Amino acid sequence: MAVSMMSHMMPPASTLFSMYASISASIMLLHTMLNQLLPLPAQRFLLSLLRRLFPRRPSPASLLIEERDGLSPNELFSAAETYLCSHLPPDLPRLKLSKRPNDPSLSLSFASSHSIPDSHLGVPLLWRFVTEDQSKKHNKPNLDSPHPLLESEKRYFELTFNKEFRDTVLDSYIPSILHRAKIIKEQKKIVRLHTLAGAPSYSSSSVWDSVNLEHPSTFETLAMEAELKRRITEDLDRFVRRKEFYRRVGRAWKRGYLLYGPPGTGKSSLIAAMANYLKFDIYDLELTNVRRDSDLRKLLLRTANRSILVIEDIDCTVDLPDRKGSSAAATPLEGGNAHPHRPRETQFTLSGLLNFIDGLWSSCGDERIIVFTTNNKGKLDPALLRPGRMDMHIHMSYLTPDGFRLLASTYLGIQGHHPLLPEIESLIKMKNITPAEVAEELMKFDDVDLSLNEVLIFLKSKTNEEEDVTKIISEKDVEVGEAKDQVTAHDCDF
């Protein structure tokens, strides 16, 4: 009955059509009159006034930023989390608190779903952190998945904004989030030292294990010539800021350094100083653990960007085969279950190492530094030394007077003149002394005079030892010469 009453109250369709046509005609007539009677500025003012009185409802748009993209981590999620955790409002009821070893600061992060407002160039934005328990959603976890723990919880960010500002968000706001997150991470980063975990020889199950790099070496404390330190730091700075340059010239974004010189001259300390200066992780690779070229590739592909790959004592760590792979076949395998007298079965070649340094595989990663160290540069294959593989050759020489003054300042706090310094520096000029030897002497006493006197005694004893060795060699040469003369005389008599 109510439906029939409503049907009697509604006008017929012809009447509604006539009303619509009449209103449309009136609007068109009004629009024509406004165009004829009102100038263009007045029309614009009237339209802006109407927009203010009757504003359009904003059309929202949302972007979902999930924690993982398949099995790979989502870089944008990590950047958003880093950025938002640095802008957490104080009224959030629940947060997660953590602290890393040797990190003096506490770390706050999201513990549950939260909303955080933000703005960019006057555009209001709303971030919402969401965590969902997938096991409850599907009643049980997917035990057949290769990563059931990763799939049991889904975390993502939802960014909401007005649809008309989509281009501003995508072209300006999101890149700024990535940039600011990178700066925050660099400021808080703790440098890590990675080494190969697992069996003595490389296997497919081996992974990189890591600890905090607690080596305190810096360029300020290195006992090295000031000019050489300046050249190294300038080269490092130039490398990290030339991303677009490397892409423009078609080269992989990497840099190779060869550190060569006697033991104890500070090669390892220089590597630590480079890592602390750039905030780059170190990957310490023992080539004796590598069996095949394919294993080396898999291992190096697991290293992160912004890192330093270190291969120490490249001349004696492993008997590198030649580019045809001949010499390694006779190298015995140290460790493992191989027979002690059985040749090492390997397909690891110098060619495979060179291919990862500057071949096709060198482009798999950005902002990488490769460092080789050796005590004897002359033993290395020339193929390792050419530019593009080892771009900068750094000679780690014996201690100089300037280097000693830096050590004395670092260890003893000596800033000016001391009566024993001239004699010590004079002896250092005459002899080959490593920084490690002198540093060991400087650590024996806390008293400045006692320490410097100990260094002086050491240098004089070092001088006497070298003179004795030289004297013994000379005496042997004389004896050999006399024996040759006697043989020659005997031959002549005969």
The tens digit of pLDDT for each residue in 3-20 reads 455 455 556 666 766 776
Count of other CB atoms within 10 angstroms of residue 262: 14
Return d(Cα 107, Cα 113) in angstroms, integer.
18
Question: Which CATH number goes with the domain that contains 217?
Answer: 3.40.50.300
Chosen domain end from 127, 160, 188: 188
Residues 82 and 155 in one domain: yes
Residue 341 belongs to some domain of the structure: yes
Residues 199 and 176 in one domain: no
Give every CB contact of residue 129 below 8 A, 6+ residues apart in sequence: 84, 110, 113, 114, 115, 116, 155, 157
Return d(Cα 179, Cα 55) in angstroms, integer.
35
Q: Which residues of the chain have pLDDT under 70?
A: 1-14, 16-17, 20, 29-31, 33-38, 43, 50-51, 53-58, 71, 100-104, 134-152, 197-206, 316-348, 359-363, 463-494
So what's the pLDDT on residue 20? Answer: 65
The stretches of 250-371 forming alpha helices (DSSP H) are 267-278, 293-301, 350-358
So what's the pLDDT on residue 348? Answer: 67
So what's the pLDDT on residue 450? Answer: 92
Integer Rg of the chain from CA: 37
- Reported pTM: 0.63
So what's the pLDDT on residue 113? Answer: 79
Residues 209 and 336 in one domain: yes
Chosen domain end from 327, 361, 395: 395
Residues 131 and 280 in one domain: no
3 phi/psi in degrees, rounded to 5: -65, -40
Structure tokens at 7: 């049907």
**What's the total number of domains in the chain?**
3
Give every CB contact of residue 318 below 8 A, 6+ residues apart in sequence: 287, 288, 290, 328, 331
Residues 383 and 428 in one domain: no
So what's the pLDDT on residue 134? Answer: 64
Residues 339 and 358 in one domain: yes
Residue 270 belongs to some domain of the structure: yes
Residues 215 and 99 in one domain: no
Helix (H, G, I), strand (E, B) or coil at 9: helix
Residues 385 and 371 in one domain: yes
Residue type, 460: K
Helix (H, G, I), strand (E, B) or coil at 303: coil
Residue 20 belongs to some domain of the structure: no
Measured in whole angstroms, how far is the alpha carbon of residue 23 from the centre of its chain? 69
Residue 257 belongs to some domain of the structure: yes
Give every CB contact of residue 201 below 8 A, 6+ residues apart in sequence: 289, 290, 291, 333, 335, 336
Residue 93 belongs to some domain of the structure: yes
Which residue is associated with the tokens 């989390």?
Answer: 81
Residues 453 and 342 in one domain: no
Return d(Cα 425, Cα 418) in angstroms, integer.
11
Domain that includes residue 321, residue range: 192-395
Residues counted in the chain: 494
How large is the angle between the packed helices 435-442 and 401-412, nearest 10 degrees? 30
Residue 403 belongs to some domain of the structure: no
**Cα distance from N-terminal residue to C-terminal residue, the chain:** 151
Question: Are 404 and 428 within 8 A, CB to CB?
Answer: yes
Residues 278 and 369 in one domain: yes
Candidates 277, 347, 272, 276; CA nearest to 310 is 272
C-alpha distances (whole Å) from 372 to each of 18, 30, 256, 391 are 89, 83, 8, 11
Residues 366 and 268 in one domain: yes
Structure tokens at 21: 């046509």
Residue 376 belongs to some domain of the structure: yes
Chosen domain end from 395, 424, 450: 395
Residues 272 and 373 in one domain: yes
So what's the pLDDT on residue 367? Answer: 86
How large is the angle between the packed helices 267-278 and 226-240, nearest 10 degrees? 40
Residue 48 belongs to some domain of the structure: no
Are β-strands 254-260 and 392-395 bridged in parallel, bridged antiparallel, or unpaired?
parallel
If you write DSSP's letter for every residue of 175-226 in order, what string do you get? HHHHHHHHHHHHHH---EEEEEESSSS--TT-EEEEEE------TTT--S-H
Question: Are 125 and 106 within 8 A, CB to CB?
Answer: no
Return d(Cα 141, Cα 135) in angstroms, integer.
5
Return d(Cα 42, Cα 122) in angstroms, integer.
28
What does the pLDDT look like over 250-273, one tens digit per residue? Answer: 888 889 999 999 998 999 999 999
Question: Are 430 and 461 within 8 A, CB to CB?
Answer: no
Return d(Cα 233, Cα 273) in angstroms, integer.
10
